[in-house]
Amino acid sequence: MKFTSLSKGKGFYFPPCHLLNICGFRVLFDCPLDLSALSIFSPVGIDEGEFRVSSCDDFRDSECSDKKRQKAEKPLDASNLIHAEPYYKTVNDLHLWNASFIDIVVISSYMGMLGLPFLTRKQGFSAKIYATEATARLGKLMMEDLVAMHAEFRQLYGPEESGSTQWMKWEELDMFPSVMKEIVIGKDGTELGSWMPLYSAADVMDCMQKVQALKYAEEACYNGTLLIMAVSSGLELGTCNWTISSPKGTVTYLSSSSFVSSMSTDFDYHALQGSDMIIYSDFTTWKAGNGVDDYIGCSAPSTYELSDFSNSENDWEVRAESLLKLDDGAEEVEKLSFLCSCSIDSIKAGGSVIIPIGRLGIILQLLEQIADSLEATNNKAPIFVISSVADELLAYTNIIPEWLCKQRQDRMYSGHSLFGHVDLLKDKTLQLFPTLHSLELLKSWEEPCIVFCPHWSMRLGPAVHLLRRWCGDPNSLLIIENEEYTDLALLPFKPMTIKALQCSFLSGIKLQKVQPLLNILQPKVLMIPEDSRQFIPTFNTSMSLKYFSGKETLCIPKYKTTSELDIATDLTLQIQWKKLRHKETSIARLKGQLLLEHGKQRLVFHNDQEASMQAKSLLHWGKLDLKSLLVSLQKMGINGFVEQENIDTESETPTLVHISEPRKALIEMKGTDTVISTDDEDLASLICRTICSNLDCI
């Protein structure tokens, strides 16, 4: 078994990506896109002419390169962003692998799917792709939405510019500010090749046709050898961990998981119990710089901060701080209600709220809660969801009770719809529009309002235009998630007077829960990243730990050299056991046919049984004892004399036994080689039988 970590990802929106070689099959875990990298591009709708003057073309005119660098190191402004049709950043190390050598792709969440069309459209790609039904459906919608939003760039830059990669030239890259340069080429400067122009809608369609959708806990059998099963991870709709069973044992891939799911099916740890190996791939709560000492501190990653560029209000911070003390479930609930109350405050003050969050679970809950709060506080404001897939997305969420948690299912059993948005849509509190410029939207638009719309990168989709509209309104509110490059993301909208609320939602296993979880799951081998050492100092020693790091293939030693074999009962009846001489062991020839089906090895009755027996030669082992052989020969009425006896077995000269009675024959013995020569068939077989009786054989 071999394991290669291709990318550790960056939290929820960019899940990790690994490659595992198991039983000779290459399994790729997830195929995400780093959409946060989009922030190096200038968003659509930012007035082009405004920045033309200071775009890179001007730099090139300047003679002095020192001057360029000086300029580059100045504080960033929107003019530094790239004015071109965006490229998309894929997992860099994945490009090092030949796509046709991948046998299986498993997708753990809809975010882990966004890069899949890049892979599936490669020549020679023939892997089987597994994803849960919900993941496949939502992933498809997300990809379609991405393609739809990207079309705006196409319109802006025109077809002739698409595919132009001026910015990718090294001389241009050199002039980028360091933050942008790091995004473009990575920390080690190798990642330029990971940038790709976006796939087309046809690519998405093509990709989806290759995906085999699974239910939770449905066994998918690959090549008879591997049993692949998706198990609920509790994080989001349809997200899952994977167990891969082979005759050699079970491997669990533990992706970002949540033990307190407010909406999706609960984390299923029963199915993960008894795995031989766990690949721990939930890094969402591991943040660089958090040492051993303060890992408890970072375990509550829910830091609310009003960003610097907004008018901070003290009471928010106080409220936010109090949230830290709450435990998981309650904490998440509190977060949402806090967001609600902030939104209501904005509406009260006459401002609008824009929520470009990409997490479906959060959106659905906020929709319900904000509507409830609006009603409770007697405020009236329309709620809009603007996305090319809004309609389908919300319709879909209402027909998937199987993918939801108990509480949601109980809503159905008691005769309600699964989500409150069904009723909101009915009474027109909530309205869905495919695009900002749709006629219906223009007709029913009113402000203040609450808008859910993509995209969280603040480069694509209606969010860009709406933020442009409201960024100068101090009463309005922007709710965004805490991402690595948030500053860069908001750069083109500066100066901003809109309130910006940055929040982070629990998107993985908290550090202090890792140990208890592993105690429950009890794997024999735990694969964990090298840098986990600083986060998780103590580990139960009963399991063997393997540390992996990026850009390195780790060989996992076999934890057993045998595997299970099931022998059919009718076959066992046929087995003729033979006792070994001088030993307590019985042996028998294997018969039948070895089948590998459903991850199990079975020995069953074979129709050609008789035929195969005909051709089977006997295996003899050991050395002949001359004296006992002569005695045995005599018993059979065969007499002869020893011409030369050679006790030294290493010697070249053989021991010869001349047989004179009943006919002439010769037995030639040398170590473990014996040659019988005689003209007479009967005598030959008689001697042969006698020799065999003096040897162990099967």
Q: Which two tokens stand for residue 56?
A: 């890179």
With contacts defined by CB under 8 A, name the span among 307-315, 428-436, 466-474, 590-598 that binds another protein.
590-598
Task: Give 54 or 593: the residue with its C-beta nearer to another protein.
Answer: 593
Shortest distance, position 146 Cβ to another protein, whole Å: 19
Output the smallest distance, CB 569 to another protein, in A.
Answer: 5
Outline where DSSP puts E strands in 353-494. Answer: 353-355, 383-386, 430-433, 450-452, 477-481
Sites for another protein among residues 382-421 (CB under 8 A):
391-392, 395-396, 398-402, 409, 412-413, 415, 417-418
Supply the minimum distance, in Å, between the C-beta of residue 637 and another protein: 18
| Nearer residue to another protein within complex by CB, 501 or 695 | 695
Report the residue from 202, 205, 296, 590 that binds another protein according to the rule CB under 8 A. 590
Sole binder of another protein in the list 351, 462, 592, 599 (CB under 8 A): 592
Specify the DSSP class assigned to residue 550.
Answer: B
* Rounded Cα–Cα distance for residues 343 and 337 (Å): 10
Tell me, what amino acid is at 619?
Answer: L
Q: Are 244 and 122 in contact (CB under 8 A)?
A: no
**Which of the residues 34 through 63 are near another protein (CB under 8 A)?**
none
Can you tell me the distance from the alpha carbon of 352 to that of 473, in angstroms, rounded to the nearest whole number? 9
Beta bridge partners of 195: 89
684 binds another protein (CB under 8 A): yes
Q: Smaller CB distance to another protein: residue 73 or 402?
A: 402
Q: Which of 48, 77, 321, 566 binds another protein (CB under 8 A)?
A: 566
Q: Which residues contact 395 (CB under 8 A, 6 or more apart)?
A: none
| Shorter beta-carbon distance to another protein: residue 538 or 576 | 576
Beta-strand relationship, 25-29 and 525-529:
unpaired
Footprint (CB under 8 A) of another protein, residues 615-634: 615-624
Residue 234 φ/ψ region, left for φ over 0, alpha for ψ in the -120 to 50 degree band, beta for the rest: left
Give the shortest CB-404-to-another protein separation in angstroms. 10
Q: Which is nearer to another protein, 442 or 565 (CB)?
A: 565
| Shortest distance in whole angstroms from residue 399 CB to another protein | 5
> How many alpha carbons fall within 13 Å on the CB side of residue 173?
14
Of 447 and 668, the one with the shorter C-beta distance to another protein is 668
Phi-psi region of 238 (alpha: psi -120 to 50; beta: other; left: phi over 0): left
Range 351-380, binding another protein (CB under 8 A): none
Contact 698, 618 (CB under 8 A): yes
> Total residues at the site for another protein (CB under 8 A)?
91
For 71, other C-beta atoms within 10 Å of its C-beta total 15
Q: Which of residues 644-663 bind another protein (CB under 8 A)?
A: 656
Q: Which of 611, 637, 648, 652 binds another protein (CB under 8 A)?
A: 611
- Which parts of 526-565 interact with another protein (CB under 8 A)? 558, 561-565
Contact predicate 172/87, CB 8 Å: no
CB of 531 to another protein, least distance (A): 34
Residue (229 or 466) nearer to another protein, CB: 229
Site for another protein in 242-271 (CB under 8 A): 247, 270-271
- Residue with tokens 């040897």, as numbered in its chain: 695
Residue 353 bridge partners (DSSP): 450, 477
Distance of CA 621 to the CA centre of its chain: 51
Which one of residues 79, 593, 632, 646 is an interface residue with another protein (CB under 8 A)?
593
Closest approach, Cβ 119 to another protein, in A, equals 26
**499 close to 478: Cβ distance less than 8 angstroms:** yes
Nearest distance from C-beta of residue 243 to another protein, angstroms: 11
Q: Distance between CA atoms of 341 and 338, rounded to whole angstroms?
A: 5
Looking at the Cβ atoms of 457 and 690, the one nearer to another protein is 690
169 binds another protein (CB under 8 A): no
Q: Which of residues 172-201 bind another protein (CB under 8 A)?
A: none
Q: What angle do CA 153, 156, 162 make, to 5 degrees?
A: 65
From 173, 217, 324, 543, residue interacting with another protein (rule: CB under 8 A): 217
Among 296, 594, 627, 661, binds another protein (CB under 8 A): 594
What minimum distance in Å lies between the beta carbon of 619 and another protein? 6
Peptide bond into 117 cis (omega under 30): no
What is 623-664 written as a DSSP string?
Answer: ---HHHHHHHHHHTT-EEEEEE----TT-SSPEEEEEEESS-
Tokens of 221: 């059998």
Amino acid at 589: R
By CB under 8 A, the residues from 143 to 162 that bind another protein are none
- Residue from 154, 210, 215, 513 binding another protein (CB under 8 A): 215
Task: Provide the 3-class DSSP secondary structure of residue 405.
Answer: coil
> 544-548 and 525-529: which strand pairing?
parallel
Question: Mask: binding to another protein, 567-586, rule CB under 8 A, as x and -?
Answer: xxx--x--x-x--x---xxx
Give the interface segment with another protein, choosing from 146-154, 208-216, 440-448, 493-501 (CB under 8 A): 208-216
Which range of residues in 152-160, 491-499, 515-523, 592-600 is near another protein by CB under 8 A? 592-600
To the nearest whole angstrom, how small is the minimum distance from the Cβ of residue 232 to another protein? 10
| Residue 513 binds another protein (CB under 8 A) | no
Residue 293 CA to residue 560 CA, distance in Å, equals 38
Name the CA radius of gyration of the chain, rounded: 35
Residue 252 or 476 having the CB closest to another protein:
252
CA 462, 467, 470: angle at the middle one, nearest 5?
130
Does residue 205 interact with another protein by CB under 8 A?
A: no
For residues 123 and 585, which CB has a smaller minimum distance to another protein in the complex? Answer: 585
Give 264's strand partners.
404
Report 663-682 residues binding another protein (CB under 8 A): 664-666, 668, 671-679, 681
Chain positions 417 to 446 lying near another protein, rule: CB under 8 A, are 417-418
Residue whose structure tokens are 């035929």? 611
